[in-house]
């Protein structure tokens, strides 16, 4: 067994999307091979409805899958295939855009005006870029949760972990998507298959990653070639942690515990031509998609 070294840590950056939704972006629209097969990750967390009520009105997607995980509040959605619904706290929606879909997502918040959730974009390989669109809506009650003897809690959203399998299936990137809480002072190791690219996104609490016992709130970073460990401060809130190769991730929880998403997937390693919510393999495919948007032929008829 080998522990994955931490190669980079970066705070999510404030940005604005949709019709004026304030959110934090951990990565996206730069270095698309950095976390292949994943392209973008957003954290939409707000306490004021004015910061999210305008939502994400009708917009297109092609060539990717979007994964929306709601922690707090609600999101109403609809699409060009006639699907409608509402995601509540703990719910997940996995949308395979495939050949093309128009949809909208309108966050509503909870009764105190709070909204919190995440959206991840996963690339599709060239063989599936033009597959038929589909939705997988999963209620929070159907997501397996494991509680270990030391109080560690893991929600298995996608993939298999500790003998449980998440309810979302048939995903091209063969991902593992876990929501993990490690209690205060607990040191825990999680297996991640060697062939996957992996990252963690810390959104509550603090702790240290890697294998040395050091004060909480500090991150240990080791360069790939084996130089000495460097110690530097780690902000536990809205922090992206990228890992190198290995088959384990180890975390030491801080004084209030630590909660993070641990996400991994099989790299696709194909060329990317990317414009907003449309991700293809070549510029000609991208130009074709944009032309179809203009002339009204973007949505393929159902077969």
pLDDT at 224 over 90: no
pLDDT at 303 over 80: no
In the chain, domain spans: 6-265
Q: What is the C-alpha separation between 35 and 39, in angstroms, rounded? A: 7
What pLDDT does 221 receive? 38
pLDDT at 197 over 80: yes
Average pLDDT, the chain: 87
pLDDT at 58 over 70: yes
What pLDDT does 135 receive? 85
Convert the pLDDT of each residue in 99-129 to its tens digit. 999 999 999 989 899 999 999 999 999 999 9
Please report which confidence band the pLDDT of residue 284 belongs to, taking 50, 70 and 90 as the band edges.
Answer: very high
Q: What CATH architecture applies to the domain 6-265?
A: Sandwich (2.60)
pLDDT at 223 over 70: no
pLDDT at 210 over 70: yes
Convert the pLDDT of each residue in 20-46 to its tens digit. 999 999 999 888 888 999 999 999 999
Which pTM does this prediction carry? 0.90
The mean pLDDT value for 7-17 works out to: 93
The DSSP-derived string for the chain is --BPPEEEEEEPEEEEETTTEEEEEEEESS-TTSSTTEEEEEEEEESSGGGTTT-EEEEEEBSEEEEEEEEES-EEEEETTS-EEEE-TT-EEEEE-TT-EEEEEEE---TTS-EEEEEEEEE--GGGTTSPPEEEEE-GGGS-EEE-TTS-EEEEEESEETTEE-SB---TT--EEEEEEE-TT-EEEEE--TTSEEEEEEEEEEEEESSS---TTEEEE--TT----EEEE---SSEEEEE-SSSEEEEEEEEEEEEEEEEEE-------EEETTEEESSHHHHHHHHHHHHHT--SPPP-
């Amino acid at each position: 067994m080998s522990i994955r070294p931490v190669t980079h840590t970066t705070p999510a950056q404030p940005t604005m999307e949709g019709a004026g939704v304030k959110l934090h972006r951990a990565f996206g629209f730069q270095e698309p091979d950095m976390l292949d097969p994943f392209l973008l990750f957003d954290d939409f967390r707000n306490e004021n409805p004015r910061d999210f009520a305008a939502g994400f009105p009708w917009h297109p997607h092609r060539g990717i899958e979007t994964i929306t995980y709601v922690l707090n509040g609600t999101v109403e959605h609809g699409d060009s295939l006639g699907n409608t619904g509402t995601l509540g706290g703990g719910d997940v929606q996995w949308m395979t855009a495939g050949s093309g879909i128009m949809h909208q997502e309108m966050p509503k918040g909870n009764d105190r005006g709070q909204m919190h959730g995440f959206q991840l974009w996963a690339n599709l390989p060239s063989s599936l870029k033009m597959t038929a669109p589909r939705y997988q809506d999963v209620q929070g009650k159907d997501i397996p949760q494991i509680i270990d003897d030391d109080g560690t809690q893991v929600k298995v959203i996608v993939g298999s972990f500790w003998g449980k399998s998440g309810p979302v299936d048939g995903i091209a990137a063969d991902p593992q998507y876990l929501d993990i809480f490690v209690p205060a002072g607990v040191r825990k190791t999680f297996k991640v298959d060697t062939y996957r690219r992996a990252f963690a996104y810390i959104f509550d609490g603090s702790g240290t990653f890697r294998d040395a016992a050091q004060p909480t709130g500090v991150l240990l970073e080791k360069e790939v070639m084996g130089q000495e460990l460097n110690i530097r401060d780690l902000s536990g809130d809205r922090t992206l942690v990228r890992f190198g190769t290995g088959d384990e991730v180890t975390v030491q929880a801080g004084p209030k515990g630590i909660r993070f998403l641990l996400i991994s997937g099989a790299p696709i390693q194909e060329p990317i031509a990317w414009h907003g919510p449309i991700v293809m393999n070549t510029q000609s495919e991208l130009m074709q998609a944009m032309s179809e948007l203009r002339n009204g032929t973007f949505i393929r008829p159902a077969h």
